[in-house]
Structure 1
């Protein structure tokens, strides 16, 4: 289960998801493998995987409520994601400005080969 309003709010506060309208988020949630973290009935974390389920996975949108950060919850979401049976063993890539240490714990490393385009205005 994913609480759309919560995920939209969490991502709107990030440097990478701040321009995504709610309808785009709804499409993302329905189209990809999503991971939700709850405290009781309150969603406090989110992550997703864009994958072909055979060779490639793009890890995206790992986010935790600000007041819950620092307790290893983002790390736990990443661990659950990379161990998910539908994508375990695929080559995983991601893009980050500031969480290199988190992802390096799971074997991610940087290289000069990753290229991307700029997103268009949403």
Structure 2
């Protein structure tokens, strides 16, 4: 497995790269305005993954640091996949001191159930208790 340097230093994040991926290549944030991403980064615990000094992975956790966290915007650049980076990123997230002892840690995924199940994520035990407001095309509407 190739080592991935992972840290939570927001000053080191390549925001332009993150924006290009999320707004242009992701299935969940097409059209994401840069200003929205910048606000999201400012208000989240962010994990940057670096190979040979260049950012190749990213994830955000929205949390109160005490009871709840939601994992979002996880990606490894397509040209860097297959090297174990997603597992290294997830291991770093799950080991972070601010994310220990939480009552609930959530995420949404359309295709990475196998990855996340390795870190204890399951389908909701009580889905009847969960509700959401979901606007999948919100960035298209704002454009």
TM-score class, shorter-chain normalisation, is over 0.9
TM-score, length-scaled by structure 1:
0.92
Unmatched segments (≥5 aa) in structure 1: none
Partner secondary structure for residue 74 of structure 2: strand
How many corresponding residue pairs? 122
Aligned residue in 1 for 2:21: 10
Measure, in 2, the Cα distance between the counterparts of 1:82 and 1:16.
22
Measure, in 1, the Cα distance between the counterparts of 2:95 and 2:48.
15
Point out the structure with max Rg over C-alpha.
Answer: 2
Aligned residue in 2 for 1:99: 112
Task: Please state which structure has a larger fraction of its residues in helix.
Answer: 2
RMSD, aligned α-carbons: 1.4
Measure, in 2, the Cα distance between the counterparts of 1:105 and 1:58.
17
Query: 1:35-93: per-residue Cα shift (whole Å, max 9, x none)?
Result: 00112332100001000100100011110110111111112111111111011221210
Unmatched segments (≥5 aa) in structure 2: 1-11
Aligned residue in 1 for 2:132: 116
Instruction: Identify which of structures 1 and 2 has the higher relative contact order when contacts are C-alpha pairs closer than 8 Å and 6+ apart.
Output: 2
